[in-house]
Amino acid sequence: MRQPVLYIAAAILIAATGALLIFGNSDSIAGLTPARFADAAYLSIFALLIGASLAFGRHRIHARLWHIAVWLAIFLALAAGYRWFHQEPTVVVPTDNVRSTEV
């Protein structure tokens, strides 16, 4: 067994699925709601696999840094797109107790 990262990811997936099946109807799992727990498990597996591919790859350091930059650019583009399309509209409602700056 040269790189056990796949086995670790599978173990996390099996443990998280088991916890969701057993404790899915409760209010919290490890201090999180079941939906947040599932999201955290999914993202941890994804981060583990990406990190392992960058750390244990057979490339030189220049290629690894390039891959890290590409993944960072993809992440930032996805985060910016999500922020752009899923932001709440800003509505300013004046109230009576706001002082006017005009003299």
Residue 16 burial (CB count, 10 A): 19
- What does the domain layout of the chain look like in residue ranges? 1-55, 60-86
Burial letters for 77-90: b for 16+ Cβ neighbours within 10 Å, e otherwise?
Answer: eeeeeeeeeeeeee
Q: What is the pLDDT along the chain (103 residues), one digit of tens a residue?
A: 456 766 777 788 888 888 888 887 878 887 888 888 888 887 887 787 777 776 776 667 787 788 778 888 988 898 888 888 877 767 777 676 656 566 5
